[in-house]
Every structure is written in C-alpha cells, then in structure tokens.
Amino acid sequence: MLSTLAPWLLIAVASYLLGSIPFGFLAGRICGVDLRKQGSGNIGATNALRVLGKGWGYAVFSCDFLKGLIPVILAGLWGTYAGILPASAPGAMAGLCVLLGHSFPVWLGFKGGKGIASSAGVMVALFPAAFLLCLGVWLMLFTASRYVSVASIGGAVTLPLAVTVLFLMHRADWLALVVSIVMCLLAVWRHRSNILRLRAGTEPRFERKRKGGRP
C-alpha cells in the first residue's frame, strides 16, 4: 500500500515545492527590491514587469510558466508508464499542486502570486486546445481594456467552458473537466483584490508607451 502511494506523494510534494519557488520575489531581491512593497504588491510576472522592467518580467513569466509545464509533463509520463487510468491523473494532480504552491508558497507565509503564468504552463500540458482558446480571449480582453486582471479573469472563466465543449465533442476524461473548474475558481479567487479595485476604478492599466518613452 505504501509503495503504491509513494509515487503519488512524491509527485504532490515535489510539485508543491517547485510551485512554491517565488521567482518574482527572488528577481526583486536580486534587483534590491521587495515586490511585495512595490507596484501592486504581487510577486508575479505582471508586477515584476512593471517594477523591474521587461527583461526581468519576461524572465519571471518564463520561469513561472515552466514550473507549471514541466511537473505536469513528467507526472503524465510516469502515469502512462505505470498504466494509470485515467492517464491524465498524475499530471492533473501535479498541476494543481504547482498552482497551490505558487498561490500559497510555504517560503513566504503562504502569500504568493495570482498563478496565471503557471496556469498557462499547466494548461499547455493538460489541454493545449483549450489553452489556445483561453489565450485568444486573454489577448482580446487585454487589447480592449489594457487591464491584465480583466484578461486573466476572462481567460480563467473561458477554461472550463472550453474544456466542457471539448469533453462533449471528444469524450475526454472527466478529470480534465474537474481540474479546469478548480483552476478557474482558484484564479478568480486570487484576483478578488483586483476585482475590488476594478469596481472602485483604482486598478492600474498597462498603458501604451508613446515615442520618447512617455506613457
């Protein structure tokens, strides 16, 4: 029994710990800045981009994306090798644990980022077709509003809808649908402060820069 559970426990713990690595916070420290006290106070890629600049912002996004992608792929490969049914189960668990680690990192008092970049990595690994739909919605909403939070919430809500359509069309396994709903709820919950700022009209936009560097 213990030998059967051991791989699952290893995947869960390793995925959570990897998800807990606060790349945005570490990038800020390297630059002599505490992102929790600058900009929106978030340690994710968006605030890193605002405060630290494009180079660091893109680097943080890439690291957060990969920490969502890699554990899901590795866990999925193990599931296929071990004959787990459904085969997506280990990857789904890894993805959820990564997002929990990112949102509630043990190293920072369980106060982490919104998890959008890491969610993107999880989506690419678990349901790439749904990811493309979510990305399209994100780009459309961001272009129209210039609010990263609006685009992220819209993309999160699109995920379970897209997976539902794919589920009905292709008889995909039910676990993917459950995971997509949990990911959506977690993303919306983590954006609750942004929702309050949007209602109050105080949410910062990503403004286009004019020539000469002035916004």
**pLDDT (mean) for 37-66:** 93
Cα-based distances in Å from 87 to 7, 66, 75, 100, 159: 14, 21, 10, 22, 20
Q: Is residue 9 over pLDDT 80? A: yes
What is the pLDDT, as a whole number, of residue 212?
45
**pLDDT (mean) for 43-66:** 94
Digit-coded pLDDT (tens) for 119-175: 999 999 998 989 999 999 999 999 999 999 999 999 999 999 998 888 788 766 678
Q: Is residue 39 over pLDDT 60? A: yes
Q: Is residue 105 over pLDDT 50? A: yes
Buried b (16+ CB within 10 A) or exposed e, 177-215: bebbebbbebbeebbeebeebbeeeebbeeeeeeeeeee
**pLDDT (mean) for 1-25:** 88
φ and ψ of 191, to 5 deg? -100, 15
What is the pLDDT, as a whole number, of residue 2?
52
Q: Is residue 118 over pLDDT 80? A: yes
Instruction: Report which of residues 31 and 168 the model is more confident about.
Output: 31
Question: Taking the alpha carbons of 172, 124, 96, 164 in that order, is the dihedral positive or negative?
Answer: negative
- Side chain identity at residue 117, one-letter code: A
What is the pLDDT, as a whole number, of residue 84?
85
Q: From CA 119, how far away is CA 126, in angstroms rounded?
A: 10
What is the pLDDT, as a whole number, of residue 215?
42
As given in the structure block, the two tokens for residue 129 are: 């077709």
DSSP one-letter code for 37 = G
- The answer to whether the CB of 98 falls within 8 A of the CB of 19 is yes
Burial grade of 2 (CB within 10 A; 0-12, 13-18, 19 or more): exposed
- From first CA to last CA, the distance across the chain in angstroms is 61
Residues 6+ apart with CB under 8 A from 205: 145, 146, 147
In a 13 Å sphere around the CA of 79, the CA atoms on its Cβ side amount to: 20
Q: From CA 181, how far away is CA 123, in angstroms rounded?
A: 12
